[in-house]
Structure 1
Amino acid sequence: MAQLQGLTRRSLLYGSAVAAGGAALAACSSGNGGAGSGSGTGSSGEPSAPTGKGSEVKPLPKPAKYSEAPALAEQVKAGKLPAVEERLPENPYVVPHRWLVPGNYGGVLQMVQGKSESSAVKEYMYGGSPLRFLNDGLDIGPGLVETWESNADASEWTFNFRKGLKWSDGKPWTTESIMYWWEDLVQNEDHPFTPPDDVRSGKNTVAKLTCPDDTTMVLTFDAPAPITPERIAAWVNQYAETGTLGPLWMLPKHYVQQFHPKYNTAIKAGSDWFSNHDLKSDFQRNPDCPTMTGWRGKAYREAQSLTLERNPFYWVVDKDGKQLPYIDEVNFSVVKDEQVQKLNMTQGKYDYIHGGHHPIVLGDVSTFKQAEAKTGVRLRFWDSGSGTGSMLFFNYDHPDAKLRALFRNNKFQKALSHAVNRAEIRKAIYYDTGEATTGTLSVKGVIFNINDEGKKLYEEWRDLAVKYDVALAKSMLDEIGVVDKNGDGKREHPDGSPLKISLDFQADTGSENLRKNEFLKRDWEAIGLDVQMSPSPPEAWGDRWKNSEFQTTTTWEIGDNQILVYPGWVIPVEPSHWAPMHGQAFILQTGDPKKIESEANIDPWKRTPRWILPEEGSPIAKLYDFYAQARVESDAMKRNQLLWEIVKVHINEGPFMLGFVSNYPRTVLVRDGLKNVPMKENLALGGFVNPWIQPSPAVYDPEAYFWEKPEEHA
């Protein structure tokens, strides 16, 4: 449900998460719900990531022999493909998840997407990522990169890619593909790509990226960059044409260079050549484009369907040496109407529906349970990982000075939080699941699962102003002078002027947000506030919020779990969250500091774009300070403690965002006979599907799913 409108890698300046990096590790959740944690060491000797539970598990050994799908074996026999040993790298990635069992080859997986360019499809495949999250984000493991290490202060990172990797067309993969992305796109002023946060130091400056040979990449920073591996593992990487799912990192130069003016003189430089280039670079929309994912493009029909087929050169195997994927093809039908999607699901037209990529809500559970016997498609539940459920931001930078003063007053926000009957929201919208919360990052966050101190800090944040207490809410408003001065039954500003609270939202938002807003309106009117529902056209919503035009935004949800990978929820580093003008200033300080100087004497709300710097000693100034320290702190535990200080600012001077019900369940539909789909109890933290930075289900390797009877799914 997390809203991504308007977010791009160009606009997001993240940071990155906990841990100094290390050599290859492969440890994943056990079949009994316990967790195994892996560790590799860099020059600092620190583990690759702090883990909340589990013991060290070493990488799975290279299988003694390899095997392949019968269809590929036939092509080898006919001389159309090299032998499987020649198609795999010297050391393939061995999927480490302990719930996996050896599978059967064959069959087709029928799935659905909501629109033809749905990013949800990309969330199913982690194959193009240099590194990977494991154990529900508690660890980092190898991907295309086999080993990695840093120098003592984490200012230089060396990544060693697997030798013998091949693109899906059989052409050798080399670091030339990285340099093409870096030199010909990111550093090309004609192309919209900009250096991603993955290559920024703790001072937010861009690293020097070099590739001294075909399998080595070196990132040299001007300051410590200790959380570089977390940044690289985040998102799915390699195939997001808009950048919202991570940087590309690499492209098949041997194919895509024909669409670049540097390599094709028939293309005019300085034009919008990159539109066609980027279209042709998307292996889903252009099946001719090679990929590193387990399934490659086969057929694309605009607004109708997308078919993917097995990549014969996929560089991943199971522990027995069987090359993945097991399933021959994956077919995504495009169904834009959510109600039609649901109808098709209840009729059993799709085999697998995962997490946040479908319209099923908890109110639909009874219908789907009743359909199970007929369809053979079973309903499962995973944790959402949400820290808020449908939430609300007050605009910390609202142009009206009186409203701004209230929205920055933590007693005002606490009063409104105490006025909300979360038990009723939890019952009506989330069917008595999840837990009431003031609003936090995900309970699955690494910093909350390191030790008891982290868990207690999470609970303190969750319970900050969660109690339903109308009398307390009224007294807090009275205390700050928000009282009914003219006797009309509505509270006014402290100066007696009218006060109206606007619940702003996109007109096409879903029922979950609308119903939550109805509860807020009712409960806040009950304590004497004048509250109105304010739908707005969705097309311009993102730009208008960044320009600080709304009082609130009420359709977001926090699912992310690592502050330094995605800090925007808690630290204003970009303009899409609770302090949009501070976020805009943060970006300008890095990208256009002269603008900051030239507009210093202009009213902040008359600047273009609108921006404002934090006042000394303000909560945002404190957040920026702790954030800056954490980004360059190479000691993992000290870094975690700095992240705890960020949380404490929210506890002591917030809330800056209001949540209502956290970690409610999300539904997963799985057809009988589809194996190796993990159960909730298989996963280190119970699994969670809402965060995009830990791409789900990609992190669980759907390439290892298989049909018990593939002949029935031809």
Structure 2
Amino acid sequence: MTPPESPRPSRRDLLMWGGGALATASLSGCSFLSTDPSGGKKAAGGAAQKAKGKEAPMLAQQVKAGKLPKLEQRLPKNPLVVQPAEKVGTYGGTFKSVMLNAADTPWLGRTMGYEALLRFDPTGRKIIPNIAESVTPNDKGDEFTIKLREGMKWSDGKPFTADDLEFGFNDWLLNSELSPVVPDWISSAGQPAKLTKVDDVSVKVTFPKPNGLFRSKLAYNVFFAPKHYLQQFHKKYNPDAEKLAKQQKMTAWTDLFGSKNDHWGNPELPTLCAWVTKNPLGTGSRVTFERNPYYFKTDPDGRQLPYLDRANYDVISDVQVLLLKGSNGELDMTTRHINTLPNKPVLARGREKGQYHFITLENTVMNDIVISLNLNHKDPVVRKIFQDKNFRIGLSHAIDRPEMIKTVFQRQGVPWQAAPDERSEFYDEEFAKQYTEYDVAKANSYLDKAGLTKKDSAGYRLRPDGKRLIIQVEVASPSLTPSWVDGTDLVTQFWRKVGVDAQMKNEDRTLFYERKDATANEHDAAVWMGDGGLLIEMLEPRWYFPFSGESNYAELWQQWFNTYGKEGEEPPAAPKKQMQLYRQLIATIDENEQKAIYKQILQIAKEQFYCIGCVRIPNTYGIVKNNLHNVPAKMPEASIMATPALSNPEQWFKS
């Protein structure tokens, strides 16, 4: 997000939702025992319920022609029944959407590909069964039994069994050539878990120490992969894999395996998702999908899902074209890229003509703009300045947040630090509001305390070595929201007023990620949104301590944490203490104890003040065509929930 949303297709993007990788902590209000995939909603009556047939006409025709087995042979013994958000739907129709360039693969995952062993319910408050019928821990929480659905099949009709979990776990994620670093969700105490096949539909995952967050992680990461297909490209199963790679002009078998294990780029890859790729990414200006005849879910009447036959995604490069398509009613739904505050009046004016309406997105992001100074900066002089808390406090007081809210956020939002939302059980008002007061005198005082008292002839503060302190604040383009550019431009103006020569650098998103990565570590400061403010606080603690590659303020410290000291740089005592606490949190299965530990982590985060927040927007919005049904009027927005996929796109239908 992981789950960051990466700038280009990654292993996580390609297989996260229904092809083949896991995060952390029990959710606020989660019930792991719930088996209701609808979140408690019951199907409403209506004309759609009178539709005949248990499968789509296009599939019934194939059965009649002898090209497809009968429905009862395609469904598992115990299909997952999905309760529609409004009413039982009708078959047919094509979902129309767009991708904002080829790197926008997260949108595919958020609509076409959310199928994990467990999943978030439509409210985001519960984790419920999905591909797995059950995931049962032992009393200690160091062993989990995963039971699959008997008779379930891949999209090519081949059986989906425990062999696919065993292959994905041992031969993919624990293969050092394919995955040099063992993912944290299948390890504890720095050691990988062991997966043992019990029978064709059951496996046991055993950890060296308890893993109280394993079930939560199973809701947005997967470790299964189609063994019957991918083994032909794996060196362990095919001695000629290297030769095969060279024949396809690839350097190594691992490259070949990766290209074949690409849900969006390889239409031959079997999937468990509701739709299969037909025209893949990279072969033109449109990516297309068609229903999976072996999909394992039904509606309450026993009719196989999905309702929609197909999906088309046009690949475009201009967000203004996307906005035009949205306002013209050419998109069936979107919750991405154009759902900004400045665009809302434009979209509001187009509703009648475009025949669409707004839905509410409950924002799990606690801040629209989080600025991370690089506390691990390569330049030791700059590093010392950035690590001085007084410097960061001074810069925070220099930001005129009310002016930013007025000019950038259409008078919506409140000043906020990188702290949990006020609706969160972890809300701390002092943490959220500290240093948000706009006070130039305080800003200058704190900057002076940081030792930056000398200035050049232009009035800019000098480093201890006599050079002007220059800060490039990097913003990814295309941004997830235009407010990043406008807001960051304002911030650099505010900082220049207190003598800090700050310059906004708008750069390609891929370059942005390359520069801030721990390997390069070349950024001065970076801008991103504040993930992990509501519902998923413990699953997404990137802003509260150096937790992941998205902790932009301390990439070397997070690398040290995630490699157990083998790489990166050993952090100071405070972040190291947080890392120890988080390991303790993972090691307990007691939810109350987890929360108590997490509050300690947040208390240290408040004291350390790693990064600077600007504005919190409680809710955002999406648009939905009036003839697209079963899309809830409200849903949480979070990348690890794959919004809007947690609302079950397989039960969307058109009238």
- Equivalents in 1 of 2:22, 2:557: separation in Å? 15
Q: Is the 8 A contact 1:21 1:148 kept in 2?
A: no
1:503 maps to 2:488: no
| Number of the residue aligned with 1:292 | 272
Q: Which of 472, 476, 487 is the matching residue for 1:516?
A: 487
- Equivalents in 1 of 2:79, 2:22: separation in Å? 31
- Equivalents in 2 of 1:349, 1:6: separation in Å? 26
**2:636 counterpart letter in structure 1:** F
Secondary structure, counterpart of 2:394 in structure 1: helix
Q: How far apart are 1:533 and its partner, in Å?
A: 3.3
Q: Which of 543, 555, 571 is the matching residue for 1:580?
A: 555
Mark the CA change 1:111 to 1:193 in structure 2 (over 3 Å): closer, same or farther. farther
| Number of the residue aligned with 2:47 | none
Q: Is the 8 A contact 1:396 1:407 kept in 2?
A: yes
Q: Is the 8 A contact 1:167 1:292 kept in 2?
A: yes
Please list the CA deviations of residues 267-313 of structure 1 after superposition, one character each: whole Å capped at 9, or x if unmatched. Answer: 32695223333333334433333211111223337132122111121
**2:193 counterpart letter in structure 1:** A
Mark the CA change 1:309 to 1:533 in structure 2 (over 3 Å): closer, same or farther. closer
Mark the CA change 1:372 to 1:534 in structure 2 (over 3 Å): closer, same or farther. closer
Q: How far apart are 1:78 and its partner, in Å?
A: 4.1
Q: Percent identity?
A: 28
| Number of the residue aligned with 1:653 | 608
| Number of the residue aligned with 2:46 | none
Q: Which of 336, 341, 345 is the matching residue for 1:366?
A: 345
- Equivalents in 2 of 1:31, 1:24: separation in Å? 13
Q: How far apart are 1:563 and its partner, in Å?
A: 4.7
1:156 maps to 2:143: yes
Secondary structure, counterpart of 2:320 in structure 1: helix
Secondary structure, counterpart of 2:542 in structure 1: helix
Mark the CA change 1:533 to 1:351 in structure 2 (over 3 Å): closer, same or farther. closer
Secondary structure, counterpart of 1:363 in structure 2: coil
| Number of the residue aligned with 1:644 | 599
| Number of the residue aligned with 2:6 | 4
| Number of the residue aligned with 1:375 | 354
- Equivalents in 2 of 1:485, 1:115: separation in Å? 44
Please list the CA deviations of residues 298-355 of structure 1 after superposition, one character each: whole Å capped at 9, or x if unmatched. Answer: 33371321221111211112223222111111111121232222233333322222x2
| Number of the residue aligned with 1:550 | 523
- Equivalents in 2 of 1:126, 1:659: separation in Å? 32
| Number of the residue aligned with 1:17 | 25
Mark the CA change 1:534 to 1:74 in structure 2 (over 3 Å): closer, same or farther. closer
1:313 maps to 2:294: yes
| Number of the residue aligned with 2:306 | 325
Q: How far apart are 1:516 and its partner, in Å?
A: 1.2
| Number of the residue aligned with 2:442 | 472
Q: How far apart are 1:698 and its partner, in Å?
A: 1.4
Q: Is the 8 A contact 2:114 2:273 kept in 1?
A: yes
| Number of the residue aligned with 2:393 | 414
C-alpha RMSD of the superposition: 3.2
Q: Is the 8 A contact 1:485 1:496 kept in 2?
A: no
Matches within 5 A, 1:222-261: 222-234=208-220, 246-247=221-222, 249-261=223-235
Q: How far apart are 1:110 and its partner, in Å?
A: 1.2
Please list the CA deviations of residues 497-536 of structure 1 after superposition, one character each: whole Å capped at 9, or x if unmatched. Answer: 4552413215745442221122112222223333333456
1:589 maps to 2:564: yes
Q: Which of 539, 553, 571 is the matching residue for 1:614?
A: 571
Secondary structure, counterpart of 1:274 in structure 2: helix
Q: How far apart are 1:146 and its partner, in Å?
A: 0.7
**1:462 counterpart letter in structure 2:** A
Q: How far apart are 1:155 and its partner, in Å?
A: 0.6
Mark the CA change 1:393 to 1:490 in structure 2 (over 3 Å): closer, same or farther. same
Please list the CA deviations of residues 26-78 of structure 1 after superposition, one character each: whole Å capped at 9, or x if unmatched. Answer: 2655679xxxxxxxxxxxxxxxxxxxxxxxxxxxxxxxx99222333343344
Mark the CA change 1:187 to 1:527 in structure 2 (over 3 Å): closer, same or farther. closer
- The number of aligned residues is 622
Secondary structure, counterpart of 1:398 in structure 2: coil
**2:525 counterpart letter in structure 1:** T
**2:155 counterpart letter in structure 1:** S
| Number of the residue aligned with 2:616 | 662
- Equivalents in 2 of 1:8, 1:81: separation in Å? 33
Q: How far apart are 1:262 and its partner, in Å?
A: 4.0
Secondary structure, counterpart of 1:185 in structure 2: helix
Mark the CA change 1:348 to 1:488 in structure 2 (over 3 Å): closer, same or farther. closer
| Number of the residue aligned with 2:504 | 533
Q: Which of 166, 182, 199 is the matching residue for 1:213?
A: 199
Mark the CA change 1:474 to 1:153 in structure 2 (over 3 Å): closer, same or farther. same
Secondary structure, counterpart of 2:411 in structure 1: coil
- Equivalents in 1 of 2:69, 2:421: separation in Å? 46
Q: How far apart are 1:589 and its partner, in Å?
A: 2.9
**1:549 counterpart letter in structure 2:** E
Q: How far apart are 1:640 and its partner, in Å?
A: 0.7
Mark the CA change 1:343 to 1:78 in structure 2 (over 3 Å): closer, same or farther. same
**Quick check: 129-138 or 13-22, which moved more?**
13-22
| Number of the residue aligned with 2:121 | 134
Q: How far apart are 1:208 and its partner, in Å?
A: 0.6
- Equivalents in 2 of 1:385, 1:433: separation in Å? 16
Matches within 5 A, 1:2-151: 4-5=6-7, 16-18=24-26, 22-23=32-33, 25-26=35-36, 28-29=38-39, 67-96=54-83, 99-116=85-102, 118-125=105-112, 128-134=115-121, 136-151=123-138
- Equivalents in 2 of 1:7, 1:646: separation in Å? 32
| Number of the residue aligned with 2:629 | 675
Mark the CA change 1:470 to 1:70 in structure 2 (over 3 Å): closer, same or farther. same
Normalized against structure 1, the TM-score is what?
0.79
Please list the CA deviations of residues 419-443 of structure 1 after superposition, one character each: whole Å capped at 9, or x if unmatched. Answer: 2111222222221223321122566
Q: Is the 8 A contact 2:22 2:186 kept in 1?
A: no
Q: How far apart are 1:660 and its partner, in Å?
A: 1.3
| Number of the residue aligned with 1:688 | 636
- Equivalents in 1 of 2:121, 2:385: separation in Å? 43
Mark the CA change 1:158 to 1:23 in structure 2 (over 3 Å): closer, same or farther. farther
Q: How far apart are 1:108 and its partner, in Å?
A: 1.3
Q: Is the 8 A contact 1:418 1:466 kept in 2?
A: yes
| Number of the residue aligned with 1:566 | 540
| Number of the residue aligned with 1:60 | none
Mark the CA change 1:108 to 1:133 in structure 2 (over 3 Å): closer, same or farther. same
- Equivalents in 1 of 2:151, 2:441: separation in Å? 69
Q: Is the 8 A contact 1:22 1:147 kept in 2?
A: no
Normalized against structure 2, the TM-score is what?
0.86
Which 5+ residue runs of structure 1 have no aligned equivalent? 33-64, 235-245, 597-610, 681-686, 709-714
Mark the CA change 1:659 to 1:293 in structure 2 (over 3 Å): closer, same or farther. same
Secondary structure, counterpart of 1:643 in structure 2: helix
- Equivalents in 2 of 1:7, 1:404: separation in Å? 32
Mark the CA change 1:367 to 1:501 in structure 2 (over 3 Å): closer, same or farther. same
Q: How far apart are 1:580 and its partner, in Å?
A: 1.8
Please list the CA deviations of residues 228-274 of structure 1 after superposition, one character each: whole Å capped at 9, or x if unmatched. Answer: 0111112xxxxxxxxxxx44x22222233333344445432695223
| Number of the residue aligned with 2:49 | none
1:275 maps to 2:246: no
Q: How far apart are 1:620 and its partner, in Å?
A: 1.0
